Amino acid sequence: MGVGSAAPPALGPNGLTTTGNPDFKVPSYASYNLSVQQQLAPTVMFEIAYVGSVSRHLLGELDLNQPTLSTREDNPISPLNNIRPYLGYSDFHTRLPIFTSNYNSLQASLNIRTTRDLTLGIAYTWSKNLSDQANDRGTANTYTYNPKLDYGPSSLNEPQIFIANFVYKAPFFREQSGLTGHVLGGWELSGITTFNSGLSLTTSQVSDPFGCVADATTANGCAAGTYPGGFGIVSPNADVVPRPDQVSPVHLTKSQTQWFTTSSFANAQGHFGSSGVGSFLSPGTERIDLGLLKNIKFSERAHLQLRAEAFNLFNHTNFVGPGGAAAGGIDTLLGSGTFGQALTAHIPRTMQFSGKMYF
């Protein structure tokens, strides 16, 4: 096989010129917000805000030596490297500033600050983060000539976040006079409650959807839409991760052995998979942390602080979500023996005790 070259096809819409060279632009970012604050009482402040951002010309990876689908269809028996834009060469891992992302959110907060005893904060965010490329390297878009095929909720998308925190200082026996004052005074209770909905997950499949599926009745020996050498997805270009077909709605069953309905997906064959990017959510976080403090005064300058703290107080099982099987998260690889399973969990209830002397 000779090594030659041919002019790569025009890519137009994704920011490449007809000569195949990227129209390089500096990545840009713009953020904007509009908020309204209302004082509900002398110590109570409520705020609601729209917060958004948009990014353009972000770096991401494409295979600039991927053939077009029509070229693959027109040459069903040709070796893959013979029909690439640069003939005889394999895939190109190229990073280009042509990708986009956007973030939109509704954010609300309530803050209560009394003169001495209580501080309370509540915050809620409802948002969506969309992108056509999750990383600047290591993950290439599915189809070079239509990067928007991978547009959807990004791996950073976490639709709902709720956080509440408080600090309460017991108002009695502040001066800690006498034995009663030292026993009953100086107590402080604090806590943080966190509820998160989880991050967006995307399923993938093991094999190239255009890889040859044996069929003796066809000229190339492969079933319709599949070819010897496939489309170069997974092998040799492991940075292109194919998605399977979604054959039914995805439901979150939320068990350790099946976080989502695995029957909702089937291997794509002869076409790009129909399942979307970020089509369901990983396990979220439900966690309550509590701290109890005791301050013992010895003099104006010297006091002892004793602390007892409990993290994940109610020992709620929070499964690890993103990262896939390699990181102990939800296995989203169709064809894996643990597909759909939650493989590990975050730390269980943890308690710690400490003391600190101030002087």
* CA max distance for the chain: 98
**Predicted TM-score of the model (pTM):** 0.85
Task: Tell me the β-bridge partners of 96.
Answer: 60
pLDDT above 80 (res 10) = no
Residue 304 burial by CB count (10 A; 0-12/13-18/19+): exposed, middle or buried? middle
Kind of pairing between the strands at 44-63 and 200-201: unpaired
- Among the residue ranges 3-7, 184-188, 230-234, the one predicted with the least confidence is 3-7
DSSP 67-135: PPHHHHHH-TTS-GGGSSSSTT----EEEEEEEEEEEEEEEEEEEEE-SSSEEEEEEEEEEEEEES-S-
Residue 115 confidence (pLDDT): 67
Closest by CA position to 93, among listed 66, 136, 62, 67: 62
Question: pLDDT band at 23, cuts 50/70/90?
Answer: low
Instruction: Count how many Cα atoms sit within 13 Å of the Cα of residue 217 in the half-sphere of its side chain.
Output: 2
Residue the block writes with tokens 């509009």? 34
DSSP 218-258: STTSB-TT-BTTTTSBTTTBTTB----EE-S-------SS-
Residue 17 confidence (pLDDT): 42
Q: Residue 223 contacts by C-beta under 8 Å, 6 or more apart in sequence?
A: 212, 213, 214, 215, 269, 270
pLDDT above 70 (res 13) = no
Residue 119 confidence (pLDDT): 92
pLDDT above 50 (res 255) = yes
CA distance 253 to 7: 50
Q: CB 123: neighbour CB atoms within 10 A?
A: 15
- The values of phi and psi at residue 57, to 5°, are 60, 40
Residue the block writes with tokens 């976040």? 161
CA distance 226 to 85: 20
pLDDT above 60 (res 241) = yes
List of E strands, 114-206: 118-131, 152-153, 160-169, 187-196, 200-201, 204-205
Tell me the per-residue pLDDT of 172-188, one tens digit each, with 9 for 90 and over. 777 777 777 777 777 89
**4, 8, 105, 186, 211 from 73: Cα distances, Å:** 21, 17, 43, 78, 13
Bigger pLDDT: 14 or 68?
68
